[in-house]
Amino acid sequence: MKSVCGYCNLFYVVRREDGMGGTEGTEKRAAADSDDAATARDERGRGGAPADTGTTGRTRGTEHLTVERVGATLVLTLDRPEAKNALSLPMLVGLHDGWTAADEDDDIRSIVLTGAGGTFCAGMDLKALAGDGMAGEQYRDRLRDDPDLHWKAMLRHHRPRKPVIAAVEGYCVAGGTEILQGTDIRVAGESAVFGLFEVRRGLFPIGGSTVRLARQIPHTHALEMLLTGRPYPAAEAERIGLIGHVVPDGTALEKALEIAALINACGPLAVEAVKASVHETAGMTEEEGLKAELARGWPIFDTADAKEGSRAFAEKRPPVYRRT
């Protein structure tokens, strides 16, 4: 895709009045009144990780994407609840910049992606992306400068080097489920709904789902999700392996931050190398993968952090990792 206009034509807007893409009663749920997932949470310092003792607060973002630091975790919140967090140009620019900021800041050890207003993301907003007098015109030059920006924002053409944890409440459908597949760990409230509705509109889930989904969940479940376009409640999504945790509604972000704190307490060089190894060996034969794993893993043993981890264990104290 060379232009955002061509990209727009492949998606649809999921609106309140059409019952979230024509699905039935499982999708009749109002957004939470003001459960803004961008609200700062109490930090959860785990394992004595010094990186989780920093300040908590908003850093930067766009009108549809809130960015916060919670200790060593960067929290990106899709913040357009009046449109069920449908993806807009300001949101995509904010996501792109959030992933870039996390990659470039060594003090950030993990990322949490969530949504405001009790919804994760209801898909792509064609009108906002195409301009049409809606918010985002000031970002058009960003797309001209980088025609691949939207794919990077949706984690189709970019993989952050830090672990990404999805905290899902409410609808996570169409483009929302596609972005979800670019995350590493996934938590959902018990009333969350997932699904790839594109075929029901005669469209194609071009955000990566026909490639990724069958690599992440069993083949039969992947094809059923792709070919029926039906909604999947959180319990079923967990059963087939699309998500890892189902928690009470309103607590997905809290659980995601707990997981992030556990990650933040680990050696950051080791964490990033492990993530990179898992992804880069996914398409290799076992022999090729084991060889690549050695290339990734052996250098970690020579780091000062590796020595600090062993020393801290022997001295019965929390390690202090310095990315060296």
Catalytic residue numbers, as ranges: 178, 198
Query: Which sign, positive or negative, has the C-alpha torsion 53, 55, 56, 60?
Result: negative
Q: What are phi and psi of 115, to 5 degrees?
A: -135, 150
Q: Which of 129, 255, 252, 100 is nearest to 191 (CA)?
A: 252
Q: Which residues contact 101 (CB under 8 A, 6 or more apart)?
A: 59, 60, 67, 74, 108
Q: Cα separations (Å) of 273 from 133, 184, 226, 293?
A: 44, 14, 32, 9
Look at the alpha carbons of 219, 224, 227, 231 in this order and tell me if their dihedral is positive or negative: negative
Q: Helix or strand or coil: residue 187?
A: strand
3-state secondary structure 17-65: HHHHHHCCHHHCCCCCCCCCCCCCCCCCCCCCCHHHHCCEEECCCECCE
Contact indicator for 111, 102 with CB cutoff of 8 Å: yes
- Checking DSSP bridges between strand 185-189 and strand 110-115, what pairing results, if any? unpaired
Residue in the block written with tokens 């059963």: 239
CB 159 within 8 A of CB 182: yes
